[in-house]
Structure formats: structure tokens, C-alpha cells
Structure 1
């Protein structure tokens, strides 16, 4: 009888140990094989630094200059910042006065590095057709290498066109020109800065 009890206890012990071993193996498999909850994926480790850099890069290091209290609606649409570019200057302009815009401004955006400042010219016309005429006239003056072009779309509808070209006299500089409805904008400056700026500009 004692021998039978001992054998039974031994079997139970073996079963318990086996069950524990199986659980441990399953835990290890789930941790390191699938779904690998204990292993930090290479995608996560690779994306974390770039996400941190992007967040850091998107924060201006200089303060935006306030707009005048009597700023027009058009001027108020010029954002304080575009990623790491902050608005440091905004003045009335007359560069495109021959095309008879309703209003026109020159707005300068900076990262704090003056070599990468972006100068934005913006003007508004009474009709989209008048704005298109000015866009076409300005586009004809851009004779450098084309970096991009296409349609400007708002809520799925085409509201204008855009073209980006290097400066014919200096390949390290570029201009991005676009029309959005009755508004025409042209951003000029260092090539990389211009490409970064116009892609993120909200208007």
C-alpha cells in the first residue's frame, strides 16, 4: 500500500514538474519567438530616434514676429511657423504691382540660420483667372532645373498649380511657385530649405 502511494505521489510530482516545464517553454516561446513581446523590434528602435529628431526639427528655435494689429485677412493666414521656420518679418510689397493684385506682402521665415531663410511673396487677386495669369507669367521666368510640379488640391478639388525649380544662376537655390484660388505664392531661398518649407505650408 505504501509503495502504491509512493508511486502515485511520484507520478503526480512528475506531472507537476512537466506542466511547469511546459509553461516555462511556452512563456519563452511567446517572449522571444512569437509574438516576441520581450524583444524590441528593429522598426521601433529605428523609428524612435528619427521621430525624436523630427519632433525636435519641427520646433522653431527663434520666436515669430507678431503681425500688426490691423493685419488683413490674407496676412493673418501667414502662419507663425512652418515646422522649424518662424515668421520673422512681414511687410507690404509692390513687386507684382503691375499685375494689379488687391494686396501683396513679403514674408520672411527663418530657422535662426540666415543662410536658410525663406522669402515668401504672397498676393491676392479678385478672381482665380487673374491669379492664374500671374502664376503663368511668373512660372515662365523660372528657368532652372525642375524639382517638382503638379496641381494644388483642396478637399479633392483642383484650385491651382505648383512648380518648383532651382535658380538658373545658382543650383543651390530654388523657388517654389503655386496658385491656390485667388492667391499666388512664391517661396525662394536655399534649395533644401525651400523644398522643406513649401511642402508644409498650409495655404
Structure 2
């Protein structure tokens, strides 16, 4: 059954039909709302940049530098021997301490009497306990004579397990050779110009001892 309403003029009015909006209209509305929201966000960011400049230009924190901790070289726990007066320049060049080793004895060898060597010394270094390294140091008049002497010492010590150049800065001043010895010991022989040195001691310390030796 249909109901009619009377209008102001007494005329019956038909009810207005409902208008359905297409999906396109809703999409346009959502698009308009999204654009407005984006404009509001941009405005807020611009305002924050004016009020708080660091907000938009925050600097990255400086990188934390990498710190490399290098352990200090060991030092002797015992005092070195009292050095005698009137030492030669070559004798003085033999250090009183090398790493944890202290000079405990220094005697002259017969190198000058048995050969053309200028002088020779035998230096004993100890850690105050069980470790001991004995160094024989001989000075020669020329580099050629020192080379001949070093080669003979290396040959007498046996087959070298390791060898290479001895350098002072970038200059090559001689060669070194590491040879095994009996009883867990090793022998390091090297030439530095006209000086020839040979260190004998425990296998675990001889090479490090040689690298720390100043001559």
C-alpha cells in the first residue's frame, strides 16, 4: 500500500527516491582527505624545522675511534751486572737488558787472538729464574770478513730453519739464520755490518730475543 503526503497546497507529494553515489565519488573523497593530511604533515615538519632547526638537520654522532691496546714489553725482574769502566764502543753497544733478560756476565773471548777479528765478547743474559741466553759478539775489520765468519757459524750450527735480511731502517746490513739445537734450544746467528753475533737459548725465546736486541 502506498502512502501519499499532502503538500502545502494540499497536493499529494511523492517520496523522493534515494540517490546512490558511485564508488568514484568515494575514491575522490578519500584522495582529497589523503592530500589534506599530507599537506598538514608537511606543514608540521616545516614548522618544526623553523622552531627546532636541529630536528631536520640532526648531525650523525662522530664514530667512536678504535683503540688498539699494545702490551708493554717485559722488563727484567733482576738487576743487571755492574758494567766495568773503560769499555770499548763495541762492548758498550751490548745492552744490559733485553726484554725480561738482564746481563749477568760479560767476558772477553779469544776472537782477536785466534783470528783477524778486532774484538770479541761473550754476554750471558738471565731472567732470574730458569731461562738463559748466551750471546757471542765479534767485531771484524771489514764487512767481507764479517760475512765469511757469519756463514761459517751458520754452517757449523746446522741447517737453517728460517733466514732473512737484517735491516736498519730500509737498508740491508746483513742476514740472519735460525737453526735448531739439541735439548729444545735454538741458535740465532746474524751479521750487522762488521759485527757478527750468535745467540743460543730456549727455542721459545731466542727469536724474540734477537728481534729486541739493539745490535
Q: TM-score, normalised by structure 1?
A: 0.70
1:19 to 28, 36, 52: 52
1:35-46 equivalence runs, <5 A: 35-37=62-64, 44=67
Per the alignment, residue 122 of structure 1 pairs with 137
SS in 2 for 1:59: coil
1:61 to 61, 77, 90: 77
* Kept after mapping to 1: 8 A contact 2:111/2:138: no
* 1:95 shift after superposition: 6.5
* Kept after mapping to 1: 8 A contact 2:117/2:138: yes
Question: RMSD of aligned C-alpha atoms?
Answer: 2.8
More helix by share: 1
Runs of 4 or more above 6 Å deviation: none
Structure 2: gaps of 5 or more residues: 1-43
- Judged with a 3 Å threshold, the aligned counterparts in structure 2 of structure 1 residues 96 and 187 are, in CA distance, closer, same or farther, namely farther
1:190 aligns with 2:202: yes
SS in 2 for 1:192: coil
In the comparison of the two structures, how many residue pairs are matched?
170
Structure 1: gaps of 5 or more residues: 1-10
How far apart, CA to CA, are the structure 1 residues paired with 2:199 and 2:85?
25
1:79-158 equivalence runs, <5 A: 79-94=95-110, 98-114=114-130, 116-144=131-159, 146=161, 148-158=162-172
Per the alignment, residue 35 of structure 2 pairs with none
* 1:132 shift after superposition: 1.5
SS in 1 for 2:210: helix
How far apart, CA to CA, are the structure 1 residues paired with 2:148 and 2:48?
86
* 1:85 shift after superposition: 2.1
Higher CA-based Rg: 2
* 1:88 shift after superposition: 1.7
Q: TM-score, normalised by structure 2?
A: 0.67
* Kept after mapping to 1: 8 A contact 2:174/2:192: yes
How far apart, CA to CA, are the structure 2 residues paired with 1:106 and 1:185?
10
